[in-house]
């Protein structure tokens, strides 16, 4: 980190960006979405001298924005005639980092993504005021120009699909993230007007949701719940409540996220739990709730504390479930409690041809953790030897000569995402 800062100080933005990309191929998005207050700036040595930390996030954004404006690529090794071929399953940060690192060392990497767009939560699940979908796709475009191939709309969710990939590729990397949002488990939650937090964020990031009116209730108090609540406010909701079953000191969201939500006008209802969803005679949603108190580890309802909230949109945001459908098909890959077991240093699983990193291994952490895991699986030590990638001198390839064998990510293909109306409100300062 000191190296890229020193290069910026000397006016060497290009050198700074290359240093960032060498460590983190998604350095531009991480500068925007990662909790710098907690991570890099939180650990800044300036704190020891009772001074404000260096604004590392802003500096990293400055270097990366200049690099993308130049149209340059990171150094990439030419593909050998008999180079190793790796399938990266999932189009999120872990797979993108793994594929880019493999490509930089001369391997062939193909990313398989079931959705229409790659990028994972960076494209679909991080609030737009932090990271626009267009900015996420800009990074994917660079990785594609490096020579990584992409196959969109292909679900790898069965033993037959995995066997087909095993026949086509030398190794498989699993960067499949987590599964669906957890359900509330209450009557009526399948009613029209109930949309989970990731669905809401994805809808407005891709231009499918332009306005929200009336009252919105978000159930949960994690970082994704706060993203959804802030999104609802910026989309026009007059009132947004966040309903949480515990107290203010117990919320899992970062402190700065909580403060930001209060500044946006989000209201918090503490120690209140949802009971059921129903409709009134006019068709409006009614959320029945009850006040609770904690006795040891159990939440007990308080007598005569039921309260009904009328709302226009209900947004469950109580976390994601493990991706059970795919992991059940992984023969020879150890899975514990819905998570793939992999060596943290190499990404190696119990199957000699399978590697894994990201949320499907760690249960859900920051983007930078997924990137680091994907890079380690692809590029360092024994894992690179297992993939079959051999070190060699790096050389920048002419971008005009790179053919990825997949559909290019042109601006004209993504009108809603790249030129869609942004939600009102200022962007965060990183």
| Neighbouring C-beta atoms of residue 262, cutoff 10 Å | 11
DSSP string across 211-222:
---SEEEEE--S
Would you say the C-alpha torsion 358, 363, 368, 369 has a positive or negative sign?
Answer: negative
CATH of the domain at 249: 3.50.50.60
Domain that holds residue 20: 2-70
On whether the pTM is more than 0.85, the answer is: no
Same domain, 311 and 327: no
CA distance 235 to 341: 40
Of the residues 281, 316, 351, which one is the last residue of a structural domain?
Answer: 316
The pLDDT value given to residue 188 = 96
Q: Which two tokens stand for residue 202?
A: 């994805």
Contact 258, 233 (CB under 8 A): no
Q: What are the φ/ψ torsions at residue 274 (nearest 5 degrees)?
A: -75, 145
Q: What angle do CA 99, 100, 102 make, to 5 degrees?
A: 65
Question: Residue 400 falls within a domain, yes or no?
Answer: yes
Question: Residue 192 falls within a domain, yes or no?
Answer: no
Q: Evaluate if residue 393 carries a pLDDT over 80.
A: no
Same domain, 326 and 312: no
- What integer is the mean pLDDT of 57-83? 82
CA distance 258 to 235: 19
H or E element in which residue 286 lies: strand 285-295
Burial of 408 (C-beta count, 10 Å sphere; 0-12/13-18/19+)? exposed
Of the residues 274, 293, 316, which one is the last residue of a structural domain?
Answer: 316
Question: Residue 254 falls within a domain, yes or no?
Answer: yes
CA distance 154 to 238: 40
CA distance 141 to 73: 10
Contact 161, 294 (CB under 8 A): no
Same domain, 104 and 155: yes
- Residues recorded for the chain: 430
Contact 117, 135 (CB under 8 A): no
Question: Residue 6 falls within a domain, yes or no?
Answer: yes
pLDDT in tens, 206-263: 889 999 999 999 999 999 999 999 999 999 999 999 999 999 999 999 998 999 999 9
Overall domain count for the chain: 3
Question: Residue 373 falls within a domain, yes or no?
Answer: yes
pLDDT in tens, 275-310: 999 999 888 999 999 999 988 889 999 999 999 999
% residues pLDDT > 70 (the chain): 81
């Amino acid at each position: 980190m000191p190296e890229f800062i020193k290069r910026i100080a000397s006016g060497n933005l290009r050198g700074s960006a290359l240093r960032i990309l060498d460590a983190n191929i998604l350095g531009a998005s991480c500068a925007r979405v990662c909790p710098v207050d907690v991570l890099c700036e939180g650990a800044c040595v300036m704190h020891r001298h009772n001074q404000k930390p260096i604004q590392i996030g802003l500096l990293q954004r400055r270097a990366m924005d200049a690099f993308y404006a130049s149209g340059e690529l990171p150094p990439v090794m030419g593909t050998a005639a008999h180079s190793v071929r790796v399938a990266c399953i999932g189009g999120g940060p872990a797979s993108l980092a793994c594929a880019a690192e493999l490509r930089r060392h001369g391997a062939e990497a193909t990313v398989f993504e079931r959705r229409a767009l790659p990028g994972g939560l960076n494209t679909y699940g991080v609030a737009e005021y932090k990271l626009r979908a267009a900015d996420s796709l800009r990074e994917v475009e660079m990785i594609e120009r490096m020579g990584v191939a992409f196959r969109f709309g292909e679900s790898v969710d069965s033993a037959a699909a995995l066997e087909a990939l095993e026949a086509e590729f030398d190794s498989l990397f699993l960067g499949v993230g987590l599964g669906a949002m957890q359900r509330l488990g209450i009557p009526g939650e399948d009613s029209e007007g109930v949309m989970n937090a990731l669905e809401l964020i994805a809808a407005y990031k891709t231009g499918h949701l332009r306005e929200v009116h009336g009252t919105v209730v978000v159930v949960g108090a994690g970082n994704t719940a706060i993203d959804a609540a802030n999104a609802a406010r910026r989309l026009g909701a007059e009132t947004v409540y966040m309903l949480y079953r515990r107290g203010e000191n117990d919320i899992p969201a970062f402190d700065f996220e909580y403060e930001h939500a209060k500044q946006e006008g989000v209201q918090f209802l503490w120690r209140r739990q949802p009971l059921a969803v129903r409709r009134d005679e006019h068709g409006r949603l009614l959320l029945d709730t009850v006040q609770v108190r904690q006795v040891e580890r159990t939440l007990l309802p308080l007598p005569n504390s039921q309260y009904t909230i009328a709302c226009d949109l209900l947004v469950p945001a109580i976390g994601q479930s493990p991706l059970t459908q795919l992991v059940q098909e992984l023969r020879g890959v150890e899975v514990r409690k819905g998570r793939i077991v992999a060596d943290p240093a190499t990404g190696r699983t119990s199957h000699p041809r399978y590697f894994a990193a990201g949320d499907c291994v760690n249960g859900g952490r920051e983007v930078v953790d997924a990137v680091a895991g994907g890079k380690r699986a692809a590029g360092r030590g024994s894992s690179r030897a297992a993939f079959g990638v051999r070190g060699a001198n790096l050389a920048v390839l002419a971008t005009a000569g790179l053919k990825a064998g997949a559909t290019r990510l042109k601006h004209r293909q993504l009108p809603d995402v790249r030129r869609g109306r942004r939600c009102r409100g200022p962007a965060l300062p990183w």
